Structure 1
Amino acid sequence: MSDAFTLNAEKRDLEGKGASRRLRRLAEKVPAVIYGGKSKPQSIQIAHKELVRHLENEAFYSHIISLVVDGKAEDVILKDLQRHPAKPVVLHADFQRVVRGQKMHVRVPLHFINEATAKGVKQGGGIVSHLMTDLEINVLPKDLPEFIEVDVAELGLGESLHISDIKLPKGVESIALSHGADHDLPIVSIIKPRGMVSDDTAAEDDEAADAE
Protein backbone atom coordinates (compact mmCIF):
# COMPACT_ATOMS: atom_id res chain seq x y z
CA MET A 1 0.00 0.00 0.00
CA SER A 2 1.44 3.38 -0.98
CA ASP A 3 0.84 6.62 0.91
CA ALA A 4 -2.81 7.55 1.35
CA PHE A 5 -4.67 9.96 -0.88
CA THR A 6 -5.60 13.26 0.73
CA LEU A 7 -9.09 14.67 0.20
CA ASN A 8 -10.30 17.96 1.68
CA ALA A 9 -13.86 18.41 2.92
CA GLU A 10 -16.06 20.65 5.07
CA LYS A 11 -18.80 19.96 7.59
CA ARG A 12 -22.30 20.13 6.12
CA ASP A 13 -25.09 21.51 8.31
CA LEU A 14 -28.05 21.53 5.92
CA GLU A 15 -29.44 18.16 4.84
CA GLY A 16 -32.24 16.92 2.63
CA LYS A 17 -32.72 16.57 -1.14
CA GLY A 18 -33.36 20.27 -1.69
CA ALA A 19 -30.24 21.33 0.19
CA SER A 20 -28.16 18.73 -1.65
CA ARG A 21 -29.40 19.94 -5.04
CA ARG A 22 -28.55 23.55 -4.18
CA LEU A 23 -25.15 22.47 -2.91
CA ARG A 24 -24.34 20.71 -6.18
CA ARG A 25 -25.76 23.40 -8.43
CA LEU A 26 -24.66 26.61 -6.71
CA ALA A 27 -21.49 25.64 -4.86
CA GLU A 28 -20.33 22.81 -7.17
CA LYS A 29 -19.84 20.57 -4.15
CA VAL A 30 -20.79 16.95 -3.49
CA PRO A 31 -22.77 16.01 -0.38
CA ALA A 32 -21.23 13.07 1.44
CA VAL A 33 -21.25 11.22 4.75
CA ILE A 34 -18.62 9.58 6.96
CA TYR A 35 -19.67 6.67 9.17
CA GLY A 36 -18.25 3.74 11.12
CA GLY A 37 -15.85 3.39 14.03
CA LYS A 38 -16.84 4.77 17.41
CA SER A 39 -17.81 8.22 16.14
CA LYS A 40 -21.25 9.29 14.97
CA PRO A 41 -21.98 9.66 11.24
CA GLN A 42 -20.94 13.07 9.95
CA SER A 43 -22.36 14.96 6.98
CA ILE A 44 -19.73 16.66 4.84
CA GLN A 45 -19.32 18.38 1.49
CA ILE A 46 -16.47 18.02 -1.01
CA ALA A 47 -15.50 20.16 -3.99
CA HIS A 48 -16.81 18.27 -7.03
CA LYS A 49 -13.75 19.10 -9.11
CA GLU A 50 -11.35 17.70 -6.49
CA LEU A 51 -13.33 14.50 -5.97
CA VAL A 52 -13.62 13.82 -9.70
CA ARG A 53 -9.87 14.32 -10.10
CA HIS A 54 -9.21 11.61 -7.52
CA LEU A 55 -11.81 9.28 -9.03
CA GLU A 56 -9.83 9.21 -12.27
CA ASN A 57 -7.23 7.14 -10.41
CA GLU A 58 -8.34 3.51 -10.08
CA ALA A 59 -6.40 3.09 -6.84
CA PHE A 60 -8.64 5.67 -5.13
CA TYR A 61 -11.51 3.15 -4.99
CA SER A 62 -9.54 0.60 -2.93
CA HIS A 63 -7.12 2.85 -1.10
CA ILE A 64 -7.01 4.33 2.38
CA ILE A 65 -7.89 8.02 2.05
CA SER A 66 -6.84 10.75 4.44
CA LEU A 67 -10.05 12.77 4.62
CA VAL A 68 -9.42 16.23 6.07
CA VAL A 69 -12.59 17.82 7.46
CA ASP A 70 -12.10 21.43 8.55
CA GLY A 71 -8.42 20.75 9.25
CA LYS A 72 -8.89 17.44 11.10
CA ALA A 73 -7.77 14.28 9.24
CA GLU A 74 -9.05 10.74 9.60
CA ASP A 75 -8.48 7.59 7.56
CA VAL A 76 -11.41 6.35 5.48
CA ILE A 77 -12.21 4.24 2.43
CA LEU A 78 -14.69 5.11 -0.30
CA LYS A 79 -17.63 2.80 0.37
CA ASP A 80 -20.28 3.96 -2.08
CA LEU A 81 -20.64 6.46 -4.91
CA GLN A 82 -23.78 7.75 -6.60
CA ARG A 83 -23.43 9.22 -10.09
CA HIS A 84 -25.91 11.01 -12.32
CA PRO A 85 -27.32 8.51 -14.87
CA ALA A 86 -26.79 10.83 -17.85
CA LYS A 87 -24.29 13.51 -16.83
CA PRO A 88 -20.65 13.31 -15.65
CA VAL A 89 -21.73 14.41 -12.17
CA VAL A 90 -21.18 12.79 -8.77
CA LEU A 91 -24.35 13.09 -6.69
CA HIS A 92 -23.28 11.62 -3.35
CA ALA A 93 -20.44 9.72 -1.68
CA ASP A 94 -20.17 7.48 1.38
CA PHE A 95 -16.93 7.07 3.31
CA GLN A 96 -16.27 4.47 6.00
CA ARG A 97 -13.83 5.13 8.82
CA VAL A 98 -10.79 2.87 8.99
CA VAL A 99 -10.12 1.37 12.41
CA ARG A 100 -6.58 0.11 12.81
CA GLY A 101 -6.51 -3.58 13.76
CA GLN A 102 -10.13 -4.10 12.65
CA LYS A 103 -10.94 -5.96 9.44
CA MET A 104 -13.09 -4.26 6.82
CA HIS A 105 -15.04 -5.21 3.71
CA VAL A 106 -13.86 -3.53 0.53
CA ARG A 107 -13.99 -4.13 -3.22
CA VAL A 108 -10.59 -4.35 -4.93
CA PRO A 109 -9.97 -4.20 -8.72
CA LEU A 110 -8.81 -7.31 -10.57
CA HIS A 111 -5.85 -6.88 -12.93
CA PHE A 112 -5.65 -9.55 -15.64
CA ILE A 113 -2.19 -10.35 -17.03
CA ASN A 114 -0.87 -12.43 -19.96
CA GLU A 115 -4.14 -12.15 -21.88
CA ALA A 116 -2.54 -11.85 -25.32
CA THR A 117 -0.35 -14.91 -24.76
CA ALA A 118 -2.90 -17.10 -22.96
CA LYS A 119 -3.15 -20.64 -24.38
CA GLY A 120 -6.76 -20.26 -25.39
CA VAL A 121 -6.00 -17.01 -27.23
CA LYS A 122 -2.67 -17.79 -28.87
CA GLN A 123 -3.31 -21.45 -29.69
CA GLY A 124 -7.10 -21.61 -29.82
CA GLY A 125 -7.98 -18.25 -31.32
CA GLY A 126 -10.33 -17.41 -28.46
CA ILE A 127 -11.03 -14.11 -26.75
CA VAL A 128 -10.82 -13.26 -23.06
CA SER A 129 -14.15 -12.57 -21.35
CA HIS A 130 -14.07 -10.78 -17.97
CA LEU A 131 -16.95 -11.98 -15.81
CA MET A 132 -15.82 -9.94 -12.79
CA THR A 133 -13.79 -6.73 -12.63
CA ASP A 134 -13.35 -6.52 -8.87
CA LEU A 135 -13.51 -8.75 -5.81
CA GLU A 136 -15.05 -8.11 -2.40
CA ILE A 137 -12.57 -8.95 0.33
CA ASN A 138 -12.18 -8.94 4.11
CA VAL A 139 -8.85 -7.48 5.19
CA LEU A 140 -6.99 -5.50 7.83
CA PRO A 141 -6.15 -1.92 6.80
CA LYS A 142 -2.41 -2.69 6.82
CA ASP A 143 -2.89 -5.54 4.32
CA LEU A 144 -5.23 -3.76 1.91
CA PRO A 145 -3.99 -4.28 -1.69
CA GLU A 146 -4.57 -1.72 -4.43
CA PHE A 147 -5.47 -4.55 -6.83
CA ILE A 148 -5.38 -8.33 -7.14
CA GLU A 149 -3.49 -9.90 -10.04
CA VAL A 150 -5.05 -12.69 -12.10
CA ASP A 151 -2.73 -14.63 -14.44
CA VAL A 152 -4.55 -16.21 -17.40
CA ALA A 153 -1.45 -17.55 -19.17
CA GLU A 154 -2.44 -21.23 -18.77
CA LEU A 155 -6.15 -20.74 -19.46
CA GLY A 156 -7.34 -22.73 -22.47
CA LEU A 157 -10.19 -22.23 -24.91
CA GLY A 158 -13.52 -22.89 -23.20
CA GLU A 159 -11.96 -22.81 -19.73
CA SER A 160 -12.64 -20.49 -16.80
CA LEU A 161 -10.88 -19.32 -13.66
CA HIS A 162 -12.91 -19.12 -10.46
CA ILE A 163 -12.39 -17.09 -7.31
CA SER A 164 -10.72 -20.08 -5.65
CA ASP A 165 -8.13 -20.14 -8.46
CA ILE A 166 -6.82 -16.68 -7.52
CA LYS A 167 -3.74 -16.48 -5.34
CA LEU A 168 -4.82 -13.88 -2.81
CA PRO A 169 -2.23 -11.69 -1.06
CA LYS A 170 -1.35 -12.46 2.53
CA GLY A 171 -4.08 -11.48 4.98
CA VAL A 172 -6.76 -11.17 2.27
CA GLU A 173 -9.96 -13.24 2.43
CA SER A 174 -12.64 -13.53 -0.25
CA ILE A 175 -16.09 -12.62 1.09
CA ALA A 176 -17.77 -14.91 -1.45
CA LEU A 177 -15.69 -17.96 -0.56
CA SER A 178 -16.36 -17.41 3.14
CA HIS A 179 -20.01 -18.26 2.35
CA GLY A 180 -19.12 -21.68 0.92
CA ALA A 181 -18.18 -23.47 -2.30
CA ASP A 182 -21.51 -22.54 -3.94
CA HIS A 183 -20.26 -18.94 -4.07
CA ASP A 184 -17.05 -19.80 -5.96
CA LEU A 185 -18.00 -17.79 -9.03
CA PRO A 186 -16.12 -17.66 -12.36
CA ILE A 187 -14.15 -14.47 -12.88
CA VAL A 188 -12.68 -14.89 -16.37
CA SER A 189 -12.98 -17.29 -19.28
CA ILE A 190 -11.70 -17.72 -22.82
CA ILE A 191 -14.52 -18.12 -25.29
CA LYS A 192 -14.84 -18.75 -29.00
CA PRO A 193 -15.45 -15.65 -31.12
CA ARG A 194 -18.79 -15.45 -32.89
CA GLY A 195 -18.69 -17.42 -36.13
CA MET A 196 -15.81 -19.59 -34.99
CA VAL A 197 -16.47 -23.24 -35.86
CA SER A 198 -15.46 -25.92 -33.36
CA ASP A 199 -13.28 -28.86 -34.43
CA ASP A 200 -16.19 -31.29 -33.95
CA THR A 201 -18.51 -29.21 -36.11
CA ALA A 202 -15.85 -28.84 -38.78
CA ALA A 203 -15.29 -32.60 -38.81
CA GLU A 204 -19.03 -33.27 -39.14
CA ASP A 205 -19.25 -30.80 -42.04
CA ASP A 206 -16.34 -32.53 -43.79
CA GLU A 207 -18.00 -35.94 -43.37
CA ALA A 208 -21.26 -34.60 -44.78
CA ALA A 209 -19.45 -33.11 -47.76
CA ASP A 210 -17.66 -36.41 -48.48
CA ALA A 211 -20.98 -38.27 -48.35
CA GLU A 212 -22.54 -36.06 -51.04
Structure 2
Amino acid sequence: MSKYTFEATVRNDLGKGASRRLRRAKTHIPAIVYGGEDVPQPIALVQREFYRVLEQDEGIFTAVLTLNIDGKPQQAIIKDIQRHPFKPLVSHVDFQRVDASHKVSVHVPVHFINEATCAGVKNEGGKITHLLTEIEVTALPQHLIASIDIDMADKKVGDVVHLSDLKLPEGVEVTTLAHGGNDTAIVNVVAAQKGAADEDEEDAADSAE
Protein backbone atom coordinates (compact mmCIF):
# COMPACT_ATOMS: atom_id res chain seq x y z
CA MET A 1 0.00 0.00 0.00
CA SER A 2 1.25 3.48 -0.87
CA LYS A 3 2.48 5.69 1.94
CA TYR A 4 1.10 8.77 0.19
CA THR A 5 -2.50 9.23 -0.93
CA PHE A 6 -3.86 12.39 -2.54
CA GLU A 7 -7.36 13.35 -3.59
CA ALA A 8 -8.05 14.71 -7.07
CA THR A 9 -10.87 15.22 -9.53
CA VAL A 10 -11.03 14.96 -13.31
CA ARG A 11 -10.43 18.37 -14.87
CA ASN A 12 -12.67 19.11 -17.85
CA ASP A 13 -12.20 22.89 -17.95
CA LEU A 14 -8.87 23.07 -19.80
CA GLY A 15 -6.54 25.75 -21.15
CA LYS A 16 -4.30 28.40 -19.59
CA GLY A 17 -7.22 30.50 -18.41
CA ALA A 18 -8.84 27.55 -16.65
CA SER A 19 -5.57 26.58 -14.97
CA ARG A 20 -5.05 30.16 -13.84
CA ARG A 21 -8.52 30.30 -12.30
CA LEU A 22 -7.90 26.99 -10.54
CA ARG A 23 -4.65 28.24 -9.01
CA ARG A 24 -6.23 31.52 -7.92
CA ALA A 25 -8.92 29.63 -6.04
CA LYS A 26 -6.09 28.26 -3.84
CA THR A 27 -7.87 24.95 -3.28
CA HIS A 28 -6.53 22.83 -6.16
CA ILE A 29 -3.42 22.50 -8.33
CA PRO A 30 -3.61 21.80 -12.09
CA ALA A 31 -2.01 18.43 -12.84
CA ILE A 32 -1.93 15.62 -15.36
CA VAL A 33 -1.47 11.87 -15.06
CA TYR A 34 -0.18 9.93 -18.07
CA GLY A 35 1.46 6.66 -19.05
CA GLY A 36 0.33 3.07 -19.20
CA GLU A 37 -2.49 2.05 -21.50
CA ASP A 38 -4.82 4.91 -20.58
CA VAL A 39 -4.87 8.31 -22.25
CA PRO A 40 -3.38 11.33 -20.44
CA GLN A 41 -5.88 12.71 -17.93
CA PRO A 42 -5.88 16.32 -16.71
CA ILE A 43 -6.79 16.46 -13.02
CA ALA A 44 -7.26 18.98 -10.22
CA LEU A 45 -5.16 17.99 -7.20
CA VAL A 46 -6.33 19.00 -3.72
CA GLN A 47 -3.76 21.59 -2.69
CA ARG A 48 -3.59 21.55 1.12
CA GLU A 49 -2.52 17.93 1.69
CA PHE A 50 -0.11 17.94 -1.26
CA TYR A 51 1.62 21.08 0.02
CA ARG A 52 1.86 19.66 3.54
CA VAL A 53 3.66 16.51 2.39
CA LEU A 54 5.75 18.35 -0.19
CA GLU A 55 7.18 20.66 2.48
CA GLN A 56 7.90 17.95 5.06
CA ASP A 57 8.91 14.76 3.26
CA GLU A 58 11.39 14.52 0.38
CA GLY A 59 10.41 10.87 0.00
CA ILE A 60 7.41 11.98 -2.02
CA PHE A 61 9.67 12.50 -5.05
CA THR A 62 10.79 8.87 -5.26
CA ALA A 63 7.80 6.95 -3.93
CA VAL A 64 4.77 5.40 -5.55
CA LEU A 65 1.74 7.55 -4.75
CA THR A 66 -1.96 6.78 -4.79
CA LEU A 67 -4.12 9.31 -6.61
CA ASN A 68 -7.79 9.00 -5.73
CA ILE A 69 -9.28 10.54 -8.87
CA ASP A 70 -13.01 10.92 -8.33
CA GLY A 71 -12.75 8.02 -5.90
CA LYS A 72 -10.86 5.73 -8.29
CA PRO A 73 -7.29 4.95 -7.11
CA GLN A 74 -4.36 5.06 -9.52
CA GLN A 75 -0.70 4.33 -8.73
CA ALA A 76 1.72 6.98 -9.96
CA ILE A 77 5.03 8.74 -9.38
CA ILE A 78 5.87 12.43 -9.68
CA LYS A 79 7.73 13.17 -12.91
CA ASP A 80 7.80 16.96 -12.80
CA ILE A 81 6.74 19.86 -10.59
CA GLN A 82 6.48 23.35 -12.04
CA ARG A 83 6.82 26.13 -9.49
CA HIS A 84 6.01 29.82 -9.50
CA PRO A 85 9.16 31.83 -10.41
CA PHE A 86 9.27 33.77 -7.13
CA LYS A 87 6.35 32.68 -4.92
CA PRO A 88 6.36 29.43 -2.87
CA LEU A 89 3.60 27.98 -5.05
CA VAL A 90 3.25 24.93 -7.28
CA SER A 91 1.92 25.78 -10.75
CA HIS A 92 1.51 22.28 -12.18
CA VAL A 93 2.35 18.64 -11.44
CA ASP A 94 3.03 15.80 -13.88
CA PHE A 95 2.33 12.25 -12.66
CA GLN A 96 3.29 9.03 -14.46
CA ARG A 97 1.16 5.93 -13.98
CA VAL A 98 3.03 2.85 -12.81
CA ASP A 99 2.39 -0.85 -12.45
CA ALA A 100 4.31 -3.56 -10.64
CA SER A 101 5.59 -5.23 -13.83
CA HIS A 102 7.26 -2.24 -15.52
CA LYS A 103 10.43 -0.46 -14.40
CA VAL A 104 10.46 3.30 -13.84
CA SER A 105 13.25 5.83 -13.43
CA VAL A 106 13.41 8.47 -10.69
CA HIS A 107 16.01 10.95 -9.44
CA VAL A 108 17.09 10.04 -5.92
CA PRO A 109 18.79 12.49 -3.51
CA VAL A 110 22.27 11.66 -2.23
CA HIS A 111 22.93 12.01 1.51
CA PHE A 112 26.57 12.41 2.53
CA ILE A 113 26.90 11.12 6.10
CA ASN A 114 29.72 11.42 8.66
CA GLU A 115 31.25 14.40 6.88
CA ALA A 116 32.28 15.97 10.19
CA THR A 117 34.40 12.93 11.05
CA CYS A 118 35.77 12.36 7.53
CA ALA A 119 39.41 11.22 7.87
CA GLY A 120 40.57 13.39 4.99
CA VAL A 121 39.06 16.48 6.58
CA LYS A 122 39.72 15.82 10.25
CA ASN A 123 43.24 14.39 9.97
CA GLU A 124 44.56 15.82 6.71
CA GLY A 125 42.86 19.20 6.49
CA GLY A 126 41.16 18.31 3.22
CA LYS A 127 37.85 19.45 1.79
CA ILE A 128 34.82 17.45 0.62
CA THR A 129 33.48 18.38 -2.80
CA HIS A 130 29.98 17.27 -3.83
CA LEU A 131 29.89 16.65 -7.58
CA LEU A 132 26.40 15.11 -7.71
CA THR A 133 23.54 15.65 -5.27
CA GLU A 134 21.02 13.36 -6.96
CA ILE A 135 21.27 10.23 -9.09
CA GLU A 136 18.78 8.69 -11.48
CA VAL A 137 17.98 5.07 -10.68
CA THR A 138 15.77 2.52 -12.42
CA ALA A 139 13.73 -0.17 -10.69
CA LEU A 140 10.34 -1.78 -10.47
CA PRO A 141 7.98 0.50 -8.51
CA GLN A 142 8.03 -1.75 -5.44
CA HIS A 143 11.86 -1.58 -5.33
CA LEU A 144 12.26 2.20 -5.52
CA ILE A 145 14.48 3.76 -2.86
CA ALA A 146 14.04 7.12 -1.11
CA SER A 147 17.71 8.15 -1.01
CA ILE A 148 21.31 7.02 -1.41
CA ASP A 149 23.68 7.30 1.58
CA ILE A 150 27.42 7.70 1.11
CA ASP A 151 29.52 7.29 4.26
CA MET A 152 32.43 9.74 4.24
CA ALA A 153 33.98 8.66 7.57
CA ASP A 154 36.93 6.69 6.15
CA LYS A 155 37.52 8.76 3.01
CA LYS A 156 40.99 10.32 2.74
CA VAL A 157 42.43 13.12 0.63
CA GLY A 158 42.49 11.89 -2.95
CA ASP A 159 39.59 9.46 -2.54
CA VAL A 160 36.80 9.64 -5.11
CA VAL A 161 33.42 7.87 -5.04
CA HIS A 162 32.04 6.98 -8.49
CA LEU A 163 28.64 5.72 -9.58
CA SER A 164 30.05 2.20 -9.86
CA ASP A 165 31.07 2.29 -6.18
CA LEU A 166 27.47 2.50 -4.97
CA LYS A 167 26.04 -0.53 -3.19
CA LEU A 168 22.38 -0.43 -4.18
CA PRO A 169 19.65 -2.86 -3.12
CA GLU A 170 18.91 -5.78 -5.41
CA GLY A 171 16.70 -4.73 -8.28
CA VAL A 172 17.89 -1.12 -8.30
CA GLU A 173 20.39 0.10 -10.90
CA VAL A 174 21.99 3.40 -11.81
CA THR A 175 20.27 4.44 -15.03
CA THR A 176 23.39 5.95 -16.60
CA LEU A 177 25.50 2.83 -16.06
CA ALA A 178 22.69 0.54 -17.20
CA HIS A 179 22.73 2.35 -20.56
CA GLY A 180 26.52 2.29 -20.93
CA GLY A 181 27.08 5.87 -19.78
CA ASN A 182 30.07 7.39 -18.02
CA ASP A 183 31.08 6.27 -14.54
CA THR A 184 30.71 9.78 -13.14
CA ALA A 185 32.31 10.90 -9.89
CA ILE A 186 29.85 11.71 -7.10
CA VAL A 187 32.06 13.12 -4.35
CA ASN A 188 35.76 13.49 -3.60
CA VAL A 189 38.11 14.69 -0.89
CA VAL A 190 40.66 17.21 -2.09
CA ALA A 191 43.62 18.83 -0.40
CA ALA A 192 42.89 22.29 0.95
CA GLN A 193 44.29 25.05 -1.23
CA LYS A 194 47.07 27.05 0.35
CA GLY A 195 46.32 30.68 1.00
CA ALA A 196 48.67 33.59 0.39
CA ALA A 197 49.59 33.69 4.10
CA ASP A 198 50.62 30.04 4.05
CA GLU A 199 52.77 30.59 0.96
CA ASP A 200 54.46 33.62 2.58
CA GLU A 201 55.28 31.54 5.66
CA GLU A 202 56.80 28.80 3.49
CA ASP A 203 58.86 31.37 1.56
CA ALA A 204 60.11 32.86 4.82
CA ALA A 205 61.06 29.41 6.10
CA ASP A 206 62.92 28.65 2.86
CA SER A 207 64.82 31.95 3.11
CA ALA A 208 65.82 31.23 6.70
CA GLU A 209 67.30 27.92 5.62
The TM-score with structure 1 as length reference comes to 0.88
Identify the residue that residue 121 of structure 2 maps to in structure 1: 121
Contact map agreement 1:104 1:138 (CA 8 A) in 2:
yes
Residue 105 (1) aligns with residue 68 (2): no
Identify the residue that residue 68 of structure 1 maps to in structure 2: 68
Equivalents in 2 of 1:51, 1:149: separation in Å? 26
The 3-state SS of whatever aligns with 1:153 is: coil
Counting matched residue pairs gives: 207
Contact map agreement 2:2 2:66 (CA 8 A) in 1:
no
Please list, as runs of the form range in 1=range in 2, the aligned pairs for 1:171-210 lying within 5 A after superposition: 171-180=171-180, 183-192=182-191, 205=203, 208-210=206-208
Shift of 1:26: 2.3
What are the superposed Cα offsets for residues 75-95 of structure 1, whole Å, 9 maximum, x if unpaired? 111111101110000000001
Equivalents in 2 of 1:133, 1:78: separation in Å? 19
> 1:116/1:202 Cα in 2 relative to 1: closer, same or farther (>3 Å)?
farther
- Identity across matched positions, percent: 44
What are the superposed Cα offsets for residues 103-138 of structure 1, whole Å, 9 maximum, x if unpaired? 111111222222111111111223332222211011
Equivalents in 2 of 1:120, 1:206: separation in Å? 28
Aligned residue type for 1:69:
I
Identify the residue that residue 14 of structure 1 maps to in structure 2: 13
Shift of 1:55: 0.8
Which has the larger displacement, 20-29 or 30-39?
A: 20-29
Residue 26 (1) aligns with residue 22 (2): no
What are the superposed Cα offsets for residues 173-207 of structure 1, whole Å, 9 maximum, x if unpaired? 111112335x211111224556558x9x6896355
Contact map agreement 1:158 1:189 (CA 8 A) in 2:
yes
Aligned residue type for 2:109:
P
Residue segments in structure 2 that go unaligned for 5+ positions in a row = none
Identify the residue that residue 79 of structure 2 maps to in structure 1: 79
Contact map agreement 1:48 1:90 (CA 8 A) in 2:
no
Contact map agreement 1:33 1:95 (CA 8 A) in 2:
yes
Query: Alpha carbon RMSD of aligned pairs, Å?
Result: 2.3
The TM-score with structure 2 as length reference comes to 0.89
Equivalents in 1 of 2:195, 2:117: separation in Å? 19
What are the superposed Cα offsets for residues 2-26 of structure 1, whole Å, 9 maximum, x if unpaired? 8421111111011111111111012
Identify the residue that residue 53 of structure 1 maps to in structure 2: 52
Aligned residue type for 2:50:
L
Aligned residue type for 1:30:
I
Equivalents in 2 of 1:202, 1:103: separation in Å? 58
